[in-house]
Amino acid sequence: MSKITGSEAVIKCLLEEQVDIIYGYPGGAIMPVYDELYKYQDKIHHVLTRHEQGATHSAQGFARISGRVGVAIATSGPGATNLVTGLADAQIDSTPMVCITGQVSSHLLGSDAFQETDIIGISTPITKWNYQITKASEIPEIFAKAFYIAKSGRPGPVLIDITKDAQFEKINFSYKKIEGIRSYKAVPKINHNNIKLAAELINNAKKPLIVWGQGVILGNAEKELIKFVEKSGIPAAWTILGASAIPTSHPLNVGMLGMHGNYAPNILTNECDVLIAIGMRFDDRVTGDVNRYAKQAKVIHFEIDPAEVNKIIDVDVAVLGDAKQTLNEILKITENKSHKKWHAKFKELYEIEYKKVIHDDLNPKKEGLTMGEVMKEINIQTKGDAAIVSDVGQHQMIACRYSNFNKTKSNITSGGLGTMGFALPAAIGAKMACPEREVVAVIGDGGYQMTIQELGTVFQTKAAVKIVVLNNDFLGMVRQWQQLFFDKRYASTEMVNPDFVKIAEGYYLKAKRVTKREDLANAVEEMIKSDEPYFLEVVVEKEDNVFPMITTGSSVSEIRLS
């Protein structure tokens, strides 16, 4: 067996894991790996992003739409620290990702050498696992572990730091995929007695409510969830990361939970008698005041991560395991029900929300354009088949509330960390993972400028993403809170924006700006029909607010419609 360098071993490990796209930015400490990448261009496509943060978000977008592990690569020091936001985002949103960083030679570790940073210490709280390789012989085993840990059980990001001397050192290469690690139990064993206890509560419930999250999508359990919902007849609501697991149009889909979610599922969370949580973690944006959250209900929690059970909400029955397996088990003993009177309550509250909020969002009488009517037009032109990518803010809430999702893995957004700047690079990764899908990035004017340099990546790769900036010349969500709770003191939230169209055109992208309602439909149609990347700026109302809204410290039943 001929020996190869550690850097070539890195590439061979990636090939063994069937990696064909990676996102990154070169530098001195990772240069040997890049030199090997150059030799394998026909097998692994390296995407040169314009910033390492963009590499991580692109890897996240790739992973979220495909279900595969996203891969990002960077050099040591500032290259490595620029990965931190993406790692934290992936950790809290359970996104499978492997990040590879170069490091100074092992004899220089701890000496404050040029571009040396303790990325292992920095990234420990925001990774599922991390490891520093100082010997080339470690590379095959560590990479096999990294990919197994990243994608198994509850997914998450892994970081591998490789010293420069380990990249040059030669080894006899052999690779063995890992099927398990003795000290790491990826999926808890199913407790069939708890399945029976859960089924008994569900079958006897008069006003049950299902709340599902991203665990359903990560576990490929969408079909099982739909079967369970349809057999049990239980209304089902979703967290923003769970959106699209059940089509928006499904009659038992009762809408979005949380701070800017729909009126009915929030109000009725505090009226249901059994709350069935599936693959969600009771985030504070969903629960509001936990001391007044579903106190009247028996709570059943379907969850793959035991650490999430009883962490925020005390549960009556914990159903641990992979959602696909546990839903299949409970389906066998779930009774056929319809719950017509209970569903009527959801319809009644929806009509209230429609009259007070939704109608005016989608069919405004005001002169200026609303974010809601932009999403309505995108729905019309994409027929609900697009993947919608957003970062955080008013645009995110509007995109989640009003997008029509016909397919799973269609709502790609920064949920737990709430990262401004996520959407543009994530859309690039999503489009590359699924080039056959329409990918529309819906972004606020604030977040857009945090990673606007990734327009260079769009131009260089020709990734046909459609970029929609909803421009209200404000950091809109913060401004909304300032309007409602700080007497309209708009402290540092008004934006003096550049000419976005000229910037896009500077990157040789097709671009258009819309300011009038009569021009919106044609502009969106032109964008969607384009086979190339396209930038569309839509100027919207400056002081429009997102409702409904649950204010900080309030109960979900105190949700406001205005």
Of the listed 114, 168, 485, 486, which one is catalytic?
114
Does 114 participate in catalysis according to the annotation?
A: yes
Q: Residue 492 in 3-state DSSP?
A: coil
Q: What is the pLDDT of residues 366-392, one digit of tens each?
A: 899 999 999 999 999 999 999 999 999
Of the listed 97, 256, 450, 477, which one is catalytic?
477
- Predicted confidence (pLDDT) at residue 257 exceeds the cutoff of 70: yes
Does 477 participate in catalysis according to the annotation?
A: yes
Report the pLDDT value the prediction gives residue 43, as an integer from 0 to 100: 98
Q: What is the pLDDT of residues 408-447, one digit of tens each?
A: 999 999 999 999 999 999 999 999 999 999 999 999 999 9
CB contact set of 530 (below 8 Å; sequence gap of 6+): 464, 466, 510
* Cis omega (within 30 of 0) for bond into 208: no
Tokens 């700047």 — which residue? Answer: 421
d(CA 46, CA 63): 16
Percent of the chain with pLDDT over 90: 99
Does 296 participate in catalysis according to the annotation?
A: no
Does 474 participate in catalysis according to the annotation?
A: no
Does 168 participate in catalysis according to the annotation?
A: no
What is the pTM (predicted TM-score) of this model?
Answer: 0.97
If you average pLDDT over residues 137-152, what whole number do you get?
Answer: 98
**Binning pLDDT at 50, 70 and 90, where does residue 177 land?**
very high
**Binning pLDDT at 50, 70 and 90, where does residue 120 land?**
very high
Q: What is the pLDDT of residues 501-513, one digit of tens each?
A: 999 999 999 999 9
Report the pLDDT value the prediction gives residue 273, as an integer from 0 to 100: 98
Q: Which residues pair with 163 in a beta bridge?
A: 103
Look over the chain and give the mean of its residue pLDDT values, rounded to a whole number.
97
- Predicted confidence (pLDDT) at residue 325 exceeds the cutoff of 90: yes
By C-alpha distance, which of 426, 380, 427, 386 is closest to 405?
386
If you average pLDDT over residues 242-260, what whole number do you get?
Answer: 98
Q: Residue 103 in 3-state DSSP?
A: strand
Report the pLDDT value the prediction gives residue 148, as an integer from 0 to 100: 98
Tokens 């590499």 — which residue? Answer: 55
Report the pLDDT value the prediction gives residue 371, as an integer from 0 to 100: 98
Order the strands of the 70-74 sheet from edge to edge: 45-48, 21-24, 70-74, 97-103, 157-163, 129-133
**Binning pLDDT at 50, 70 and 90, where does residue 2 land?**
confident
Tokens encoding 298:
């028996």
- Predicted confidence (pLDDT) at residue 1 exceeds the cutoff of 80: no
If you average pLDDT over residues 60-65, what whole number do you get?
Answer: 98
Of the listed 36, 52, 169, 308, which one is catalytic?
52
By C-alpha distance, which of 87, 100, 99, 111 is closest to 31?
100
Of the listed 16, 115, 345, 356, which one is catalytic?
115
Tokens encoding 90:
């992936």
